[in-house]
Structure 1
Amino acid sequence: MNDPQSATEPSAAPAPGSRRPGGRTARTRAAVRDAVLTGLAEHGYPALTVEYVAEHSGVHKTTLYRRWGGIEGMLADALALAGEDRWTAPDTGDLDGDLRALAHEVAEAFADPAQAAAPTAFVAAAFQSPRAADALRAFYEERFRRCETVVERAVTRGEAPAGTDAGAVVRAVSAPLFLRLFVTREPVDAAVADQAADTVLAAVRAGAFVPQPAGAEGGAGQS
C-alpha cells in the first residue's frame, strides 16, 4: 500500500482518464509530475506555483495551463500517474504475514521525513483543494482494491470467515497508522505497525468484519 510518491511509472495520458500517450508526451507528463512532487516537498501546496513547475520541469507555462489548467490539475494528474504503477499486495502465505506486510509498508513509506514530505503535502492539499481530495481518494481506493486479494485468499484458506468484508479489513490496517501520521503526529514504527495488524487479525478471526443482516442484534458474525 505504497504512498503516492513511490508509485511513479509514466504510463497514461496527460489528463486523468484519457488515452495512453507515449514518447515525448509521457516524458513531459513525468517531468511535470516530478516538479510537482519536488515543489510539494519543498514548499507545500499553498506555495506551489505554475511558475515553479515550469522552471523545474522545463515545460512552458502556456503548455502547463493548456494541458493541466493550473496547479490543481497538475496535482490531480500527479496522483493519477502514481496510481498507474504495477504495485501488488503482499503474498506471504498467510493472513497474519500479509497484514503485517501491509502495515509495515505504510510505516516504512513515512519513516524518512525527506521521502514523506511530498505524500504528506498531498494529504494537506486535499484539505484545501476539492480536486486534490478527489484525486487522493481515487488513488487510495485503487490501492485498497488491490489489497483486498489478501483477505480473499485468507477466506479461501479458511483463515477468515466467509463473507468477510475485504475492503473494510485492509482499510482498518492502515487507519490507525494514518491517524498517527496525519492527525496526532505521533511516530509510527515497526511495533506500531505490528499492533495495527494484530488488532485487525484478531477482529477478522472473531468475525467482526462479516456484515450483519439488517435488524440483527449485537455481536459479530461467527464462522
Structure 2
Amino acid sequence: MEIITCASQIPTIERTRRSLTQAEFQRYSRQLILPELGRPGQENLINSSVLVVGCGGLGCPVIQYLAAAGVGTFGLVDNDVVDTSNIQRQILHMESDNGKLKVLSAAETIKSLNSTATVFLFNLTIDSSNAQQIVNQFDLVVDCTDNVATRYLLNDACFLSQKSRIPLVSGAALRWDGQVTVYKEESCCYRCVHPNPPAPESVTNCSDGGVIGAVCGVVGAIQGNWVNKEIYFY
C-alpha cells in the first residue's frame, strides 16, 4: 500500500463497476436479505469509495464497520502515529502498534477484515491546498476529526466538489456526549448550521476535555450506519 505524503502524489482513482462474486453472496448474506438493500445495494457498497478523515476514536469504528460491510475503496487521512494514550478509545490500534502511522495501522485492519478492499493512505495534513483534490476522488466523506477548522474545510470541499455535492457524514465526541450530522444534496451544509466559527478559547478537544471510549464507539457506529444507508441508495 502506497503512503501518500504530499499533494503531488495524490492519484486519480479509477474504478470499474463489478458484480458480486459467489463468495460475496455468502459473506454478505445477512445484508442481502434486507428488502431495503438486496443485491443492488450491496453492489453499490462494493463499488463505492469512502474517504475517512481521522483514524482516531471515531474513525476506528467507522473503518471497521465499513470494511466488514463491504465498502470497496477507502481513503484514510491522518498525519499522526499511534500512542499508548490512544488505545483507550481507538480500538483498531493495538499496543504493538505504538509508534506506527495511524493510516498504516488502520489499513492493516481493513485488509484483515476485507482482503479485496483497496486502500489509499494519506499521511498528511488535509488543508486548503489539497482538500479539494483529495475529496473529489471519493463518493462520500466521513469527518472523524476533532477540530473546527477541518470541519469547515471538509464541508466546503464536499459542497464545491466536481461531482456536484458529495455527502458528508460528520461526527463529534467529547466527555460523555456525541453527535452525528449528515450533510447532503437536499440538506443544509455545515456553514448553514454554523455560519460563524466559534472563538478558539471556547472549543475543547479530547486531549484537553477527555472522552469516554465507548462514546466514540457509539458515535462512530452511527456514522458508519449512515454511510451504509447513503451508499445503499446511491
Asked whether the two chains share a fold, i.e. TM above 0.5, the reply is no
Which structure dedicates a bigger proportion of its chain to strand? 2
Q: Which is greater in Rg?
A: 1
Normalising by structure 2, we get a TM-score of 0.24
Normalising by structure 1, we get a TM-score of 0.25
